């Protein structure tokens, strides 16, 4: 196993993860009550579609067919989101606070993966790939910061809820 | 379900996660070859013991017995680490690069969880708990930054490996 092979394996992992997130986000939008949170998730759903396309370009640049590989990490994170929606069955600020927490766990997983993939693409001398991955990483960081901002009002409302 | 209940659920999640990490780190130390990486993981193993103790103090401050709750996210992340060790069976820079990637996925998960727990403890007016959780978060951030630093030389060596 060399670094290029490890890179491709990890690329398949995040490709699988992004497509799982594409499926999870509509449920999160539906479950959220705060309009700004719904809007934030909706914007990120569109961004995620673009991210999947960028990953397809990375596969193409490597002369490979885009292919996912089961990512147990994202499955676990999404499973925890689903548990949350069962446990906090009522729409409102507490559920929104939990949804933000889910969203941030997703964003952090992606930040870790893109950070590593970028570092590997750099030492492998693939600047063309670095720029595609960097565009995705920048969006994940922005999405995480947006959730941190939204959390302020959502958390305050959640603390007041009985 | 109110925010305090959600806080306790998430606290149980990270408590479970930290204890899984306590079990995983000795395997990662054993699998790593670069002395600085082994040392970094060893230092973090000691830190993690302290983090578990701080979480026990948080439970105590809430008048509750420390208790974990299965965290599918960390299980998934650790499962991916185990897969990596099977796939890159040879000790050396490629395996080390993969171990750093695993470590950073773990750190990012923890950063997301502590970030959320701190925000919730703040709105719940529990400054005593905030400072305990902040101490853990600071260590996770430092550990992540250390891994980013180590990755530079490890990745360069991994790119040269056949």
Query: Is-contact B10 B66, C-beta < 8 A?
Result: no
Q: Does the predicted model carry a pTM greater than 0.95?
A: yes
Nearest beta carbon to residue B72 from set A6, A80, A122: A80
Burial class of B47 by CB neighbour count within 10 A (0 to 12, 13 to 18, 19+) = middle
ipTM: 0.96
Residue A25 has pLDDT above 80, yes or no: yes
Cβ B144 vs Cβ B40: under 8 Å: no
pLDDT tens for residues A117-139? 999 999 999 999 999 999 999 99
SS3 content of chain A, % helix, strand, coil (to 5): 85, 0, 15
Are the beta carbons of B103 and B126 closer than 8 angstroms? no
pLDDT at A100 over 80: yes
CB contact under 8 A, A2 and B97: no
User: A123 vs B158: CB contact, 8 Å cut-off?
Assistant: yes
Reported as half-sphere exposure (CB side, CA atoms, 13 A), residue A137 has a value of 15
Question: Contact A72/B79, CB-based, under 8 Å?
Answer: yes
Q: Is A109 on the interface with B (CB under 8 A)?
A: yes
Question: Which residues of chain A does B16 touch, with a Cβ-Cβ cutoff of 8 Å?
Answer: none
**What pLDDT, on the 0 to 100 scale, is given for residue A1?**
85
Averaged over A42-69, what is the pLDDT?
Answer: 98
Q: Do A1 and B94 touch (CB under 8 A)?
A: yes
How many angstroms separate the CA atoms of A141 and B30, rounded? 33
b/e map of B55-83 (b: 16 or more CB within 10 Å)?
Answer: beebbeebeeebebbbbbbbbbbbbbbeb
Mean per-residue pLDDT for B35-41? Answer: 98
Residue A151 CB contacts under 8 Å (≥ 6 apart), including other chains:
A97, A100, B116, B119
Rounded Cα–Cα distance for residues B99 and A107 (Å) = 21
Q: What is the pLDDT of residue A120?
A: 98
Contact check, Cβ <8 Å, B72/A71: no
pLDDT exceeding 70 applies to what percent of chain B?
A: 99
Average pLDDT of the segment spanning A30-58: 98
Pairwise CA distance, residues A95 & B117, whole Å = 15
Tell me the nearest-neighbour CA distance from B160 into chain A, angstroms.
9
Average pLDDT, chain A: 97
The per-residue pLDDT for range A78-93, each reduced to its tens digit, is: 999 999 999 999 999 9
Residues comprising chain B, all counted: 162
Whether residues A87 and B1 touch (CB distance < 8 A) is answered with yes
> Do B115 and B14 contact (CB within 8 A), yes or no?
no
Helix segments in A32-126, DSSP class H: 35-61, 72-87, 93-123
Q: Does A80 touch chain B (CB under 8 A)?
A: yes
pLDDT band (50, 70, 90) for residue A162: low
């Amino acid at each position: 196993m060399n670094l290029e092979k490890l890179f491709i394996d990890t690329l398949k992992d995040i490709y699988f993860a992004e497509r799982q997130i594409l499926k999870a986000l509509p449920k999160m939008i539906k479950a959220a009550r705060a309009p700004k949170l719904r809007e934030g998730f909706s914007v990120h759903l569109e961004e995620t579609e673009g991210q999947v396309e960028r990953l397809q370009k990375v596969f193409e640049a490597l002369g490979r067919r885009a292919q996912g590989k089961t990512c147990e990490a994202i499955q676990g994170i999404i499973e925890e989101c689903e548990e949350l929606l069962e446990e906090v069955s009522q729409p409102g600020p507490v559920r929104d606070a939990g949804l933000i927490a889910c969203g941030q766990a997703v964003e952090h997983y992606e930040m870790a993966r893109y950070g590593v993939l970028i570092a590997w693409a750099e030492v492998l001398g693939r600047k063309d790939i670095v720029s595609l991955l960097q565009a995705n990483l920048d969006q994940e960081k922005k999405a995480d910061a947006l959730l941190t901002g939204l959390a302020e009002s959502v958390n305050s409302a959640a603390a007041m809820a009985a």
